[in-house]
A = this chain, B = another copy of it.
Amino acid sequence: MTHAEHPSLDPAGPTLAELSEIAVLQRIFPRLPESDATLVGPGDDAAVIAAPDGRFVVTTDMMIHGPDFRLAWSRPRDLGWKAAATNLSDVAAMGARPTALVVAIAAPQSLPVSVIEGIADGLREACAALAPGCGVVGGDLSASETLTIAVTAFGDLGGHAAVLRSGARPGDLVAIAEGGNTLGEAGRGLALLFTRGVDADGAPDAAAAAALRIEHPRLLGAQLRPAPPIAAGALAAASGATAMLDVSDGLALDAARIALASGVRIDFDSAELGGHPESALGGGEDHSLLACFADAVAIPAAFRVIGRVHALSAGEAAGITVDGAPHVLGGWDPYRGWDGHAG
Nearest-CB distance from A283 to chain B (Å)? Answer: 18
1/0 per position for A184-223, CB-CB distance to B under 8 A? Answer: 0000000000000000000000000000000000000000
Nearest B residue to A153, CB-CB = B46
Taken together as a complex, chains A and B put the C-alpha atoms of A148 and B142 apart, in Å, by 11
A234 at the interface (CB under 8 A from B): no
A144 at the interface (CB under 8 A from B): yes
Q: Are A143 and B338 in touch, CB under 8 angstroms?
A: yes
For A58, list chain B residues within 8 Å (CB).
46-49, 100, 102, 137-138, 152, 154
For A340, list chain B residues within 8 Å (CB).
109
For A54, list chain B residues within 8 Å (CB).
50-54
User: With contacts A148-B62, A152-B102 known, is A335 near B17, CB below 8 A?
Assistant: yes
Q: Are A51 and B62 in touch, CB under 8 angstroms?
A: no
Interface magnitude class on chain A: 35 or more
A316 at the interface (CB under 8 A from B): no
A297 at the interface (CB under 8 A from B): no
1/0 per position for A160-178, CB-CB distance to B under 8 A? Answer: 0010110000000000000
Nearest B residue to A50, CB-CB = B55
For A49, list chain B residues within 8 Å (CB).
55-58
A21 at the interface (CB under 8 A from B): yes
Interface centre among A19, A104, A157, by most B CB within 10 Å? A104
For A94, list chain B residues within 8 Å (CB).
40, 44-46, 48
Nearest-CB distance from A38 to chain B (Å)? Answer: 11
A246 at the interface (CB under 8 A from B): yes
Taken together as a complex, chains A and B put the C-alpha atoms of A153 and B138 apart, in Å, by 12
Query: A residues near B, CB below 8 A?
Result: 16-17, 19-21, 24, 39-40, 43-62, 64, 66-68, 90-91, 93-94, 96, 100, 102-104, 106, 109, 137-146, 148, 150, 152-155, 157, 162, 164-165, 244-246, 333-336, 338, 340
